[in-house]
Structure 1
Amino acid sequence: MHIVRYRREHDATARVGVRVDGVVRELTAPSVAALLHESVADIRDLVAAPGDVVDDARLLAPVDGGTEVWAAGVTYLRSREARMEESSEADIYGRVYDAARPELFFKSAAWRVVVDGEPVAIRADSGLDVPEPELALVINRFGEVAGYLVSNDMSSRSIEGENPLYLPQAKVYAGACALSAGIRPAWEVDGSDLTVSVRVTREGVAVWSGATSTARLKRPYAELVDYLFRADNFPDGAVLSTGTGLAPAMDFTLRPDDVVTITIDGVGELTNPVVVGKEHFDFQRP
């Protein structure tokens, strides 16, 4: 089962439902944010008895309202190595990997998130760009993990590598945050050892691929959530992308019309074509 947001063919209103075996059924919850107001136990009860089948559902990004997307960095050994390879200040990444406090940063407001099938972007002023395949935690307002998503934390290696203080510009821009369409409930899957794989195709040919496991994550999910909630409140919940364990060599960069496919076993798949620049996006605030 996946919890989804959708819109009907002749209705502009975004709705919430559950999808099982490709069939979407409606829920009474007005939004995903409203679900994340509830405890995990209550969410489980709310999604256990869906209503009518929706034949014309078009799936939307699975976040709304005031829900924010955040991300963790340098949480896998491969991420530490990749950041050190690209950076003019390599020791910073070595230190944060071993530090007590994790690296956490804001990634996107809900209304800027793109979903499966929509384009992701590389910045026009960047020369080295990669996808970052990650498992994302869907967290309710109480700091409980309610579910999981597939995340693509698009990144400019050249901009961040020039100066670590440029990280917001390397990470936060139009088309930089993609999430899979459905939230896999946490009570249905064990997130501790999930295979994460990525494939980038160019003119139908795979030009980079790789796989890892969430078991290689250095920091427990509970630790990342604790630090995120330690000094802030998230009344509409939050999504926390947990970092990547997959990074290509420094001679690889994304190009326009590449297609990025990320799969996490038991959670879902996320496929996005690549474009350059903000003009491809016309985000509308709710």
Structure 2
Amino acid sequence: MKFLAFTKNGVEGLALSEGDAGYHGLTADDSSWPGSLMALISNGFPAAALDALRAGPAIDPDEVTIALPIERPGKIVCIGLNYAAHAAEAGLELPSVPTVFARFSTGLVPSGAPIVRPTVSDMLDYEAELAVVIGKGGRDIPKESALDHVAGYTIFNDGSIRDWQLATPQWTVGKNFDNTGGFGPVLVTPDELPAGASGLRMQLKLNGEVMQDTKTDDLIFDVPSLIAHLSKAFTLEPGDVIATGTPSGIGGARDPKVWMKPGDVCEIEIEGIGTLTNPIVQQG
């Protein structure tokens, strides 16, 4: 199943597509409205809710405003240096345990909405990432059953303000400027993809030029490993997001460096999931 959160005429909506079928769904002003995607995830995708969406009218994604799949995730956990070639281009050794940092929901923008270059820096970089959305929560989750806790997969652009990120050993500020994290456009359930979303091609294009190109089975720490590792420290809850890391090809590692600027368009496509598209604008 693919879920598309949207707004239409200012009203929240949710649509469902299965297989090659188009989207059908409802808006919150409909008497059969089953609730947000977050509500469906929290309740284990109730059959009645899915049937209500299936029975809804056809939804054309081009005629609605795409919304964030999860509007305000409780946790956005990001993994750094999770592709060997990216660690090499950063001049860093391969990590023996996952490198973890956090993002905040105030930085998220949906597909179609602009990523904003702040006034304090022109070093706005892109990072294509596979994102995991937790369905069933838990602590100390065994690796062997970790994928049972996944609600689905989507796409993340970990937009980074490089000078602010690298000004200190902690990356938090440079990774959390408002409106710099692209997220979406859809949530794809695990049954539609290979186990752990492994082996999917992921490409990032800037103004149509391929800047990053990899497969998700090149991750150093795969999805089950990340879930098991993170849940040793803290409880994962429904709707939490894990951004699994970016491959080589970031703008800051190029010669000359490539920074996203107003007027650019950044697209990230992951096989079997879709395309996250964000134009770049200057902070007003």
Deviations along 1:231-270, one digit per CA (max 9) or x if unpaired, are 3334442111100013241422222111111100101101
* Aligned alpha-carbon RMSD (Å): 2.5
Of the candidates 183, 187, 199, which is equivalent to residue 183 of structure 1?
Answer: 187
State the partner residue of 1:75: 82
Q: Identify if the C-alpha distance between structure 1 residues 147 and 164 changes in structure 2 by more than 3 Å, giving closer, same or farther.
A: same
Provide the C-alpha distance between the structure 2 equivalents of 1:274 and 1:65, rounded to a whole number of angstroms: 22
Query: Is 188-197 or 118-127 further displaced after alignment?
Result: 118-127
State the partner residue of 1:90: none
With normalisation by structure 2, the TM-score equals 0.80
State the partner residue of 1:89: none
State the partner residue of 1:15: 13
Unaligned runs of 5+ in 2: 27-31, 139-148
- Partner SS, residue 80 of structure 1: helix
State the partner residue of 1:117: 112
Deviations along 1:57-78, one digit per CA (max 9) or x if unpaired, are 4321111355432211110012
State the partner residue of 1:275: 281
Q: How does 1:28-177 map to 2 (within 5 A)?
A: 28-39=33-44, 42=45, 46-47=49-50, 50-55=54-59, 57-84=64-91, 93-94=92-93, 97-100=94-97, 102-109=98-105, 112-142=107-137, 144-165=149-170, 167-177=171-181
- Partner SS, residue 230 of structure 1: helix
> 2:258 matched to 1:247?
no
Q: Percent identity?
A: 23
> 2:260 matched to 1:262?
no
Q: Identify if the C-alpha distance between structure 1 residues 139 and 195 changes in structure 2 by more than 3 Å, giving closer, same or farther.
A: same
Provide the C-alpha distance between the structure 2 equivalents of 1:119 and 1:139, rounded to a whole number of angstroms: 26
Q: Identify if the C-alpha distance between structure 1 residues 65 and 272 changes in structure 2 by more than 3 Å, giving closer, same or farther.
A: closer
Deviation at 1:182, TM superposition (A): 0.9
Deviation at 1:158, TM superposition (A): 2.6
Deviation at 1:48, TM superposition (A): 6.1
State the partner residue of 2:213: 211
Unaligned runs of 5+ in 1: 85-92, 280-286
Aligned length: 257
**Which amino acid in 1 is paired with 2:177?**
Y
Deviation at 1:30, TM superposition (A): 1.2
State the partner residue of 1:238: 240
Deviation at 1:103, TM superposition (A): 1.6
Provide the C-alpha distance between the structure 2 equivalents of 1:82 and 1:122, rounded to a whole number of angstroms: 24
Deviation at 1:118, TM superposition (A): 0.7
Q: Identify if the C-alpha distance between structure 1 residues 53 and 256 changes in structure 2 by more than 3 Å, giving closer, same or farther.
A: same
